[in-house]
Amino acid sequence: MKRFTLAAGLLASVVLPSTALAVELEVTHWWTSGGEAAAVKVMADAVTGAGITWVDGAIAGGDNARPIIISRIAGGDPMGATQLNTGRDAEDLIKAGLMTDLTDLAEAEGWKDIIRPAKLLDACTYEGRIYCVPVNIHSFQWMWLNRGVYEANGLAVPTNWDEFVASAATLKEKGITPLAIGGEPWQINGMAGVFTVALGGLDLYKKLNIEKSAEAAASPEMTKVFEAVAAARGLVDEGYVGRAWNDATNMVITGKAGAQIMGDWAQGEFSVAGQTAGKEYDCLPGLGFNPVLDTGGDAFFFPKPADGNQEVIDAQLKMASLLVSPEVQVDFNLKKGSLPIRADVNLDAANACMQKGIEILNNPDNVLPSGEQVWSSDTTGQFEDLWVEFFTTPDMTVEDAQARYVEIVSSAD
């Protein structure tokens, strides 16, 4: 059987490239763009400095990375550490006992007291034990505007959603798309989420995203949200199908569009284009009505090593401890454009929009749980389907759509 000798020969030639003295941690993540990679490097340097070898496993695109990460953990070949969405995605993996328990470390370092808002740590907690490390705070609740577009057309730069809608007709006449958007489901879903807080109000958002209240889903406040999404149909251009979010941001940067509703990661695009907050562009948290943040963000999990190797577990705990340390938090978040998970760090270097975010964050009432911590990915997917269908089907009435929405909320697990 020639085949087998061939395979065996190949096996022999590739087994273990080096016998490492230091403990190796393979870290998988989907941060591959310039700014993201620079941020990961902060982590990698800290980990390397602690005598642990960081084996980088970058796979671009969460959708590409997730199947790989999950099938490797489930298949019994876990990496040392991995980025994964907080919230319910990882629940099954924790339940199956596949994740290293970080509780002792967290208690020793007093994570409960330093990590704010507390909801972040809650997302990592399962049955009272802590299984992941939140590393930053991202929020979707922002609108980004190109000031120049408005000024050049003799319009005041909108300070809230209503003013924005009022000025849309003028922009359209001039051949400028008022609202830049991409047709990817999560973008449309996210926009609807922003409307829920900004137009429906905090109560509505909390009732939905904490209590999963079907009553709130059927309320007249929610109707306003559907009406706003219906109105947004008329504010976008024809070519939005399949457009990536950063291409939509680029439309705002170049003045082809007036504004975009997008999370704070959009800010990276403006700064790469050399634009300054408050000068070329403006940001409206909560569409200018309800300046709040939701606390989505990234987190790291540490899958249990297959052989239970204590050295690896020690390295994992060391890395976890480093990720929440003030030094890593500051450097990492400045590079990533996100907000740190602890308040006791100095962020003077942050730009105007980030400062706005920090200010909002200082009042715990302004901090909302992000949907992904309440809804399973499956339910989120159903919301996405609904919003996409509603947004792209002008014939679909607000009543029909809201009825379907209520159905999803009441049947959510």
Partner 1 sequence: MMPTSVPIDAYSPHGRKPKRIMEPRRIMLYAVLLVAVLYYILPLWVMVMTSLKGMPEIRLGNIFAPPVEITFEPWVKAWSEACTGLKCEGLRAGFWNSVQITVPSVIVSMAVASVSGYALSFWKFRGSEVFFTILIFGSFIPYQVMLYPLVVICRELGIYGTLPAVILIHTIFGMPILTLLFRNYFASLPEELFKAARVDGAGFWGIFLKVLVPMSVPIFVVATILQITGIWNDFLFGVVFAGTQNWPMTVQLNNIVNSTQGVKEYNLNMAATMLTGLVPLTVYFLSGKLFVRGIAAGAVKG
Partner 2 sequence: MAQAGRPNPLFRNLTAKIATLPMIVTALVVFVGCSVWTVVYSFTASRALPVSKFVGLDQYERLFSNARWEQSVTNLLFYGVFALVFSFVIGFVLAALMDQKIRFEDTFRTIYLYPFALSFIVTGVVWQWILDPGLGLQATLRGLGWETFSLNLIGSKDTVIYALLIAGLWQGTGFVMVLMLAGLRGIDEDIWKAARVDGIPKWKTYVFIVIPMMRGVMITSLVIVASGIVRLYDLVVALTDGGPGFASEVPAKYVFDHMFARANIGQGLAASTMMLLSVLIIVIPWAYLEFGRKKGR
What is the closest distance, in whole angstroms, from the C-beta atom of residue 284 to partner 1 in the complex? 21
Of 85 and 338, nearer to partner 2 (C-beta) is 85
d(CA 216, CA 205): 9
* 351 is an interface residue for partner 1 by CB under 8 A: no
Q: Token pair of 382, please?
A: 């159903």
* Contact flags string 74-103 toward partner 1, x per CB under 8 A: xxxx--------------------------
Cis preceding-peptide flag for 67 (omega within 30 of 0): no
Cα 99 from Cα 95, distance rounded (Å):
9
Query: Closest approach of Cβ 95 to partner 2, in Å?
Result: 8
Asked whether position 239 contacts partner 2 by CB under 8 A, the answer is: yes
Q: Which of 183, 210, 225, 228 is nearest to 371 (CA)?
A: 210
Cβ pair 293, 141 in contact under 8 A: yes
The reply to whether 276 sits near partner 1 by the rule CB under 8 A is no
Give whichever of 170 and 271 is closer to partner 1, judged by the CB atom: 271
β-strand partners of 160: none
# residues contacting partner 2 (CB under 8 A) = 34
Sign of CA dihedral 117, 119, 123, 129: positive
Window of 20-28, 63-71, 132-140, 339-347 that interacts with partner 2 by CB under 8 A: 63-71
Instruction: Scan residues 199-258 and list those touching partner 1 (CB under 8 A).
Output: 244-247, 250, 254
Q: How far is the CB of 210 from partner 2 (least distance, A)?
A: 21
- For position 92 contacting partner 2 by CB under 8 A, the verdict is yes
**Does 74 engage in binding with partner 2 (CB under 8 A)?**
yes
DSSP string for 339-406: B-SBSSS--TT--HHHHHHHHHHHSGGGEE--GGGTS-HHHHHHHHHHHHHHHH-TTS-HHHHHHHHH
Are 391 and 225 a contacting pair, CB within 8 Å?
no
For the chain, the maximum distance between any two Cα atoms, rounded to a whole number of angstroms, is 80
The arrangement of strands across the sheet holding 52-58 comes to 52-58, 23-29, 81-85, 298-301, 132-134
Closest approach of partner 2 to the CB of residue 349, in Å: 35
Q: Which of 35, 183, 201, 255 binds partner 2 (CB under 8 A)?
A: 183
Of residues 28-57, those binding partner 1 (CB under 8 A): 29, 31-37, 40-41, 44, 54-57
From the list 51, 67, 278, 394, which residue makes contact with partner 1 (rule: CB under 8 A)?
Answer: 67
Interface with partner 2 includes 378 (CB under 8 A)? yes
Measured from the CB of residue 401, what is the shortest distance to partner 1 in angstroms?
Answer: 28
Interface positions, 280-339, toward partner 2 (CB under 8 A)? none
Cα torsion through 88, 94, 100, 106, rounded to 10: 50
Q: Which of partner 1, partner 2, none interacts with 35 (beta carbon under 5 to 8 A by kind)?
A: partner 1
Examine residue 24 and tell whether it contacts partner 2 (CB under 8 A): no
C-alpha to C-alpha distance for 205 and 194, rounded to whole angstroms: 9
How many Å apart are CA 342 and CA 146, to the nearest integer?
A: 31
From 264, 224, 230, 225, select the one nearest 245 (Cα to Cα): 264
Q: By CB under 8 A, name the binding residues for partner 1.
A: 2-3, 6-8, 10-11, 14-15, 17, 26, 29, 31-37, 40-41, 44, 54-61, 64, 67-68, 71-72, 74-77, 244-247, 250, 254, 265, 268-269, 272-273
State the residues that interact with partner 2 by CB under 8 A. 3, 62-63, 66-67, 70, 74, 88-93, 96, 183-185, 237-242, 376-378, 380-381, 385, 388-389, 391-393
